[in-house]
Chain A
């Protein structure tokens, strides 16, 4: 079974490509709407030779990275402050629980209003949802510090700084990294979303341009690119998480919270 698994996986991917090709070629669906896989793939290769594509690609990556970085740093700083001060944690609880579920796209109009059709407007959206993801994980992580361990540390006379360094940090770190991993994919989704609606430069805007052109193979090629990009982000952050936490006794899965 172990050797057969990757083979089956490759078969699955091939099967998908063949099905797509056949469905389009035999006219089960109108090739005007679904171009054959080979056409799309050829178009994808052609796109890769276009400077226009790479500049859109770069814009998307930049917006994503900026948004993710701002969200992560802000969430870690604020999360640490709120998490370490019990009074703040209790005082902000309801506010957080109200702000968190607001769908991030709801603030798109506000972002446009504040910053126009620009990268800054997109960043407002890209920062919002990932921020909460990391913020909550930081709170969970700090709350997870064993009270027994806390008391032990205190009775051994560890200073506040030492407690933070040796107790809180190692306990909270896996949570923060998990939060970061989830935030990375959410930020990418929102980057593309913002580009589609706010129309700031990037793959999302390019997709919208191809839609209205209409340039169907181009549209499909770019959707494939966003999927591959998402896959790279998912796999990359998952790999990084495993590498960073391989020493940790409890490499955590995101379970039910």
Chain B
């Protein structure tokens, strides 16, 4: 066999093998036992298909949750980038707001949930506000930092060629800050997902977070596990989509870094 082929076969084997082994180990460990808290993988799988893959749950719990997550995250990214570029490009505004922004970022986002519930009640707008209130900060602060740290030579270049306004925003400011912005977006996504779940654990009657907590309280353990697995899949899917987008958006950044490393 060609060494290259063998090597890639080995990596595929390693990549797939260990997760399979883990599931097998789980199956073996739970086989025949009546442990209430750790059902067999088979039971979790059954619970997964019967609980989540039905039309009713999909439309009542899963899709609305994911929809709120998507809207909340998009709002956070847009607000963060627009406000961040404005603040980052205006030194006095930056100095004025920076301490307050640092403070807001430091508030654990969940601590704001009761406050937002108080003001907005417990409808969809509250859940959206909870997601945005936590996930906007990494994008905002990273954008500010990205715009602030733009290369002065490139700034001079843009100025001397009189590249201004929308053109400068699209082709200079945004790309120049994009490595920082993307690092912020990555954080924004994971915080957003956490807050989506949390917002549904409080005084809600639907949604992924609500369902998982409900199963736990009802001692529907396999169902609860299947919910955790579902959240895991959502998290992995979101991370994978992010990775794809990041590779595209920052291909120049990764490329130039590879070149400079030699």
Contact = CB atoms under 8 A, between A and B. Distances in A.
Consider the complex of A and B and state whether they touch directly, i.e. have CB atoms less than 8 Å apart: yes
Contact of B108 (A5, A93, A226): A226
Contacts of B232: 98-99, 101-102, 106
Contacts of A228: 103, 106
A105 B209 contact: yes
Contacts of A106: 197, 212, 227-228, 231-232, 235
Interface stretch (A134-142, A157-165, A191-199): A191-199
Interface stretch (B26-34, B54-62, B94-102, B161-169): B94-102
A105 B92 contact: no
A160 B92 CA distance: 53
Contacts of A231: 102-103, 106
A118 interface: no
Contact of A207 (B11, B105, B111): B111
A227 B106 contact: yes
Interface stretch (A49-57, A170-178, A212-220): A212-220
Contacts of A90: 11, 14-15
Contacts of A9: 95-96, 98-99
Contacts of B250: 256
Interface majority SS on A: helix, strand, loop or mixed? helix
A105 B197 contact: yes
A191 B179 CA distance: 30
Contacts of B98: 9, 12
A189 B183 contact: no
- Of A103, A107, A256, the most chain B CB neighbours within 10 A belong to A103
A191 B110 CA distance: 10
A108 B215 CA distance: 12
Contacts of B201: 105, 108, 197
Contacts of A256: 179, 182-183, 246, 250, 253
B19 A103 contact: no
B47 interface: no
Contact of B18 (A95, A220, A229): A95
Given A189-B108, A223-B115, A226-B108, A104 B194 contact: yes
A189 B95 contact: no
B213 interface: yes
A113 B212 CA distance: 12
A103 B111 contact: no
A116 to B, nearest CB: 12
Nearest to A17: B100
Contacts of A216: 118
Contact of B37 (A114, A191, A234): A114
Interface string A4-16: 1100111111011
A8 B106 contact: no
Interface residues of B, number: 63
A18 to B, nearest CB: 12
Contacts of B225: 110
B29 to A, nearest CB: 15
B68 to A, nearest CB: 14
A150 interface: no
Contacts of A85: none
Interface string B116-127: 011100000000
Interface in B12-29: 14-19, 22
B248 to A, nearest CB: 13
Given A29-B119, A193-B198, A227-B111, 10 more contacts: A90-B11, A105-B201, A106-B212, A109-B213, A109-B215, A113-B216, A208-B114, A223-B112, A255-B180, A257-B183
26 contacts: A8-B96, A12-B96, A87-B14, A91-B14, A95-B22, A105-B194, A105-B197, A105-B201, A106-B212, A107-B228, A109-B212, A109-B213, A109-B216, A110-B225, A112-B216, A113-B216, A193-B108, A214-B118, A223-B114, A226-B107, A226-B108, A229-B106, A230-B106, A230-B107, A231-B106, A256-B250
Closest 4 CB pairs of A and B: A230-B106, A101-B235, A109-B216, A211-B114
